[in-house]
Amino acid sequence: MGVLDGRTALVTGAGRGIGAAVAMGLAAEGATVMVSDAGVSVDGSGHDDGPAAQVRDAILDAGGTAHADATDITDFEATADLVTRAADTMGGLDVVVNAAGILRDSMLFKMSEGDWDTVVSVHLKGTFNLARHASEWWREHRGGQYRLITFTSMSGLQGAPSQPNYAAAKMGIVGLTFSCANALRNYGVRSNAIAPIAGTRMTQGIKGGGSMDYSPENARLAPENVVPPVVYLASEQSDWLNRRVIFAGNGRISLMSNPVVEREIVSASGTWDIPTAFAEMESSFKEAILWPNIFDKGLENRG
């Protein structure tokens, strides 16, 4: 008996890295899985049906149930076909996990238009395409315990200096996920984002100055360590959890805070003059900014 017996899941980016671990983890818990991956290189070029087929075969060899697909999720119509085909083939669409992703890092002042557009297209438009078509299916098949699980990143949440395209897309995914959470909850959908950390081909190029060991030998960063909270979100038990970001990996599962008003100064008249705004912003806000983010430590200085 698995905690996902009888559930159906479409997982993108499932041919490699975290997505592959998620697909296998969901299948090991009893879910039927559509393993979807376009088999592109880290920068998004190329196309290969092989990675999705290999993960499908690994799931079948382990006694699970899986199907393979190689849709490019940046294609709106092709993603519509994928969603319909996944639901028809599996006999339902309880869970959609979007772990597909690419990188094209560069400092902002050197970034090409193409590198911006391509990264935003895979991450943000790809997540839109899947959520858009899945939501239509969910709306037409009410009564289920549906789950949208997206992938964001600490790169966006904290602003990786050499990843303006990726950081922007990943924060866009948070906004989209939160919008889905509010729009779709009455259709039985719960929408949450995972901010993972794992040693994959995507993190191989990171020069961390020794602060993070992304090598395959570091078991703490095995992609499998991201899987348990994803299984939880995919299960019917996570009905209470909506519109949140969960960090996962390196031995941690963290509930990230949603943006809230942290400090506020209010003018009784409704207006502010410049000297008073200067003085009160400094006296109220400055002491709240105590904690440097991870990029202040020189963790990320690529490009």
Ligand X SMILES: NC(=O)c1ccc[n+]([C@@H]2O[C@H](COP(=O)([O-])OP(=O)(O)OC[C@H]3O[C@@H](n4cnc5c(N)ncnc54)[C@H](O)[C@@H]3O)[C@@H](O)[C@H]2O)c1
Minimal distance, residue 99 CB to ligand X, in Å? 4
Among 135, 155, 166, 214, the active-site one is 166
- Burial label for 114, CB within 10 Å (0-12, 13-18, 19+), is exposed
Task: Report the residue number, 90 or 212, with the smaller CB distance to ligand X.
Answer: 212
Residue indicated by tokens 């031995």: 251
- Dist. CA 46–CA 30, nearest whole Å: 32
- In degrees, rounded to 5, the angle at the alpha carbon of residue 122 between the alpha carbons of residues 120 and 126 is 105
Q: Is 170 annotated as catalytic?
A: yes
Q: Is 110 annotated as catalytic?
A: no
Minimal distance, residue 268 CB to ligand X, in Å? 45
The residue with its CB nearest to ligand X is 17
- Dist. CA 26–CA 5, nearest whole Å: 9
Minimal distance, residue 254 CB to ligand X, in Å? 13
The site for ligand X (CB under 6 A) is made up of 12-13, 15-19, 37-40, 42, 44, 51, 72-74, 99-102, 122, 126, 151, 153, 196-198, 200-203
Among 121, 135, 170, 235, the active-site one is 170
Structure-block tokens of residue 74: 């940046």
Minimal distance, residue 214 CB to ligand X, in Å? 8
Task: Report the residue number, 127 or 144, with the smaller CB distance to ligand X.
Answer: 127
Among 36, 121, 153, 162, the active-site one is 153
Q: Is 153 annotated as catalytic?
A: yes
Task: Report the residue number, 201 or 286, with the smaller CB distance to ligand X.
Answer: 201
Contact 196, 206 (CB under 8 A): no
- Dist. CA 166–CA 44, nearest whole Å: 13
User: For strand 189-196 and strand 146-151, is the pairing parallel, antiparallel, or unpaired?
Assistant: parallel
- Dist. CA 32–CA 23, nearest whole Å: 9
Task: Report the residue number, 131 or 144, with the smaller CB distance to ligand X.
Answer: 131
Indicate which residues carry an active-site annotation: 153, 166, 170
